[in-house]
Each structure stands twice: as structure tokens, then as C-alpha cells.
């Protein structure tokens, strides 16, 4: 599929008000922190505005016009998420605060069936949100967390995976794209191998859902977690997606209003799916905003978004690799929207602050991947992460800012 042309990208950028602003006085903003959160097009901002101006009400309970409108829009958003990601059934789309909460839901609800000696398989490259919930589950149940090591290129060691996957592996929890290295994992093949062992599979799609055409039914995973705010949608909304049959077998993980059917002082029964897992007043406005973001990305075309990102990030990796003093953290065969690096002689935090003075926003730190940092032998990295509205010229701005940083530190 053809990437967006330079003229098309310039036109797309007009849809994002924040990309027009300046920082530090007269510096044009270069936003390369999309793996942390993407920017929002005007249509999403207007969808939020419209909901709060015209339809603000609680859902599923009221019998007045506003409640009916809000409920219809909220449930339409659920159906839109299901369609966009190829979910088996909208009833299997549980709205959460994001990927982190979705993974915690699985660990705390589905995870109750684990026993001492059961194994949870993750990888060294996982985000903390796909490590810590499993550690907590292991502490509660006596299960054991094991991690797939990495190759020198920053990819999963597939031979080690085959060795680690076994009859005691109850769940494989794996990121589809590393937020730190940009590595795209061959999850479809790994899911197939795991299912052959009877292993349940959760895919962390926080970085893949914004960048790749996703069809959960074709992937074959049991759980898929993602966040709207990396998909040009609002913060504070995401989803756990699974088959209704699997979700039906799981107990609620939070109690309160909305998730019940009947309540007495002695006991309660649960609402139908997906409401059994959505206790309390949901994030209605942001669900509606997410639906607008999905419309926007679908109109652009996910195949073209993927092609554009591939061109941008591969160009960035090549140019950074040729820049004096820069060392790439990984060289994966297939890279998602991020490229991370070190700058010789300068701590990543200093690099990020210095390039920010040139108007370039990148990430610095352990990027919620401390076990990965230990593996890399560094406490922190710099990360430039792209979306379809970025340009090769912005990579040039990053390189210019890196050169200025080296001069400030007296590094030739």
C-alpha cells in the first residue's frame, strides 16, 4: 500500500491544531513522542465538545432524551471499536481506562484459576503494565513468571520461546510492538504455537492498534488490550477484547452499580456482558471521542497509515544510525513506530531536555521498561516515536538538535 505523499501529510497536519503551535518562543513544535500518546485531530476534539454540550447524561439508566442519546452513542462507540479491531462480538468489548487496566482485569479475574506451579510467560521487552500485574498474580497464587529473552538485534529469541513454552504455561502475555525498541513481534505464529499447547494468550496492542491493520479474530488470541489515546483518541479510555464465552466464564473484578442484575443484602447476581466488567459510571464522553478517532483513521486507511509509518521510522533509523555519536538500541527486522538510541557522552535525560530547547519532543528514561534497560545495560534511552502526521523533515530537526546538544557538551 502506498504511503501518504508529502502533500497529503501536510494536509493531514492541518487536522491537528496542536501541530501548529510553537514552543520555547518561536520554535515550531516537532512532536516525536507518539508512543506515549498521540495528538488528537479536530474531529475528536469536536466530538467531545458536542457530547458535553448537547448529550451529557448517564447511560443505560435514564429514560429521558439525553440519557437515550448518550446510551446510543456510547454503545455505537463499542460497536465501532469491535469493527475496527475485528473483534468476535461487540459484547466482548469491555471498556477500560486503557491497556494497563485491561491487563489488570485479566490478571485479577481470569487469573483466579491459576495455582501454585503454573507458569506465566512474558518477555524481557514488556512494558511494566504487562509485567507487574502478573507478578502480583504470581504472589497471590504461587504461579511463576518466566520471560522470553532477546537476541542482540532486539528481537524475541524464538528458540528460547520454544523451550519456555510448555505444559505448565497457562498464559502467554506479549506485546505486539515494543514501546521501547519498536520491534514488531511475530505474534500470529507465537499465538498458534501457544494455542497448540492449550495456553491462553493475551496480546498487548497498545502500540500496534494505532499503527497496523488489526483483526483479532484472525490473530487468534484470547485477549487483546489497547488504549484510545495512542490512536488519536482521548486519554482515559481503552478496551479489553475477548470472546463473550471466555468473559462469561470469568468473575467480576469490581463491584458496584451497572455491573449487577439483582442485589440483596445477602448476595448479588451479575449483569449481562459486557456490563459485568464495567462497574460504575463509565467514561462516556471519551468513548464517543474514540469512535470519532476510529472514523478518522479508517477514512485515512490503516494500510496507508502502516506504509507511511514504516517509511518514516525506517528513514529515521537509517539517518540516526549514520549520525556521529548515536548508537541504536535495537536493529529489528521489522520496526513499528519507534526508534530508540543513545548519544555518546550525554545522559538521555540531558539529551531530551536539550533537543526540547530546539522544539523537538522526544522521550527519555526507562520508558516503563526497567527489565529491558537492565538487559541493555543502560538505565535509560532516548526514543523518537512517529505517527502518520510526522515528516522526514522533522527527523532532520531532531538530528540538528542532537548536533547542537553535542556542541553544548563539547563533543565533536
Alpha-helical (H) ranges within 149-301 are 158-164, 187-196, 216-219, 244-248, 284-300
Terminal Cα-to-Cα distance of the chain (whole angstroms): 41
| Beta carbons of 30 and 394 less than 8 angstroms apart | yes
Cell matching residue 126: 514488556
- Residues marked active site are found at 368
Secondary structure letter of residue 33 according to DSSP:
B
SS3 of 219, please?
Answer: helix
Q: Which of 130, 133, 242 is nearest to 179 (CA)?
A: 130
Residues 203 and 91: their CA atoms lie apart, in Å, by 19
For helices 284-300 and 302-322, angle between their N-to-C axes, nearest 10 degrees: 80
| Beta carbons of 73 and 58 less than 8 angstroms apart | no
Report which secondary-structure segment, H or E, holds 12.
helix 6-13
Burial of 320 (0-12, 13-18, 19+ CB in 10 A): buried
Residues 270 and 259: their CA atoms lie apart, in Å, by 6
C-alpha distances in Å from residue 115, one per residue of 111, 112, 136, 172, 183 = 9, 8, 13, 16, 32
Amino acid at each position: 500500500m502506498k504511503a501518504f505523499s508529502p502533500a497529503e501529510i501536510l494536509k493531514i497536519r492541518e487536522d491537528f491544531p496542536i501541530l501548529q503551535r510553537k514552543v520555547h518562543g518561536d520554535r515550531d513544535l516537532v512532536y516525536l513522542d507518539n508512543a506515549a500518546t498521540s495528538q488528537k485531530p479536530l474531529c475528536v476534539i469536536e466530538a467531545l465538545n458536542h457530547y458535553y454540550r448537547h448529550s451529557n447524561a448517564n447511560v443505560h439508566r435514564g429514560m429521558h432524551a439525553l440519557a437515550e442519546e448518550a446510551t446510543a452513542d456510547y454503545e455505537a462507540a463499542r460497536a465501532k471499536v469491535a469493527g475496527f479491531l475485528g473483534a468476535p462480538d461487540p459484547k466482548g468489548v469491555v471498556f477500560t481506562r486503557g491497556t494497563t487496566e485491561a491487563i489488570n482485569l485479566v490478571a485479577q479475574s481470569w487469573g483466579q484459576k491459576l495455582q501454585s506451579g503454573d507458569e506465566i510467560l512474558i518477555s524481557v521487552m514488556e512494558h511494566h503494565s504487562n509485567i507487574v500485574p502478573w507478578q502480583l498474580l504470581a504472589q497471590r497464587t504461587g504461579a511463576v513468571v518466566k520471560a522470553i529473552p532477546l537476541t542482540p538485534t532486539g528481537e524475541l529469541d524464538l528458540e528460547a520461546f520454544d523451550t519456555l513454552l510448555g505444559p505448565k504455561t497457562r498464559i502467554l502475555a506479549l506485546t505486539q510492538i515494543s514501546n521501547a525498541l519498536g520491534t514488531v513481534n511475530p505474534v500470529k505464529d507465537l499465538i498458534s504455537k501457544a494455542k497448540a499447547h492449550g495456553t491462553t494468550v493475551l496480546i498487548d496492542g497498545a502500540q500496534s492498534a494505532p499503527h497496523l491493520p488489526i483483526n483479532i479474530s484472525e490473530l487468534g488470541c484470547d485477549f487483546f488490550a489497547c488504549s484510545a489515546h495512542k490512536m488519536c483518541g482521548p486519554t482515559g479510555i481503552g478496551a479489553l477484547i475477548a470472546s463473550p464465552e471466555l468473559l462469561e466464564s470469568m468473575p467480576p473484578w469490581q463491584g458496584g452499580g451497572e455491573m449487577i442484575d439483582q442485589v440483596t443484602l445477602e448476595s448479588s447476581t451479575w449483569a449481562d456482558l459486557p456490563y459485568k466488567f464495567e462497574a460504575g459510571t463509565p467514561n462516556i464522553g471519551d468513548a464517543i471521542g474514540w469512535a470519532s478517532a476510529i472514523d478518522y483513521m479508517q477514512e485515512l486507511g490503516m494500510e496507508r497509515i502502516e506504509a507511511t509509518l514504516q517509511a518514516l521510522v525506517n528513514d529515521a533509523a537509517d539517518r540516526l544510525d549514520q549520525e556521529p555519536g548515536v548508537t541504536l538500541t535495537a536493529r529489528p527486522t521489522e520496526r513499528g513506530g519507534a526508534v530508540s538510541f543513545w548519544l555518546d557522552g550525554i545522559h538521555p535525560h540531558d539529551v531530551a531536555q536539550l533537543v526540547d530547547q530546539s522544539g523537538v519532543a522526544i522521550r527519555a528514561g526507562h520508558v516503563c521498561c526497567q527489565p529491558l534497560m537492565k538487559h541493555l545495560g543502560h538505565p535509560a534511552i532516548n526514543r523518537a516515536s512517529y505517527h502518520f502526521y510526522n515528516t522526514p523533515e522533522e527527523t532532520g530537526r531532531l538530528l540538528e538538535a542532537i548536533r547542537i546538544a553535542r556542541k553544548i557538551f563539547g563533543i565533536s
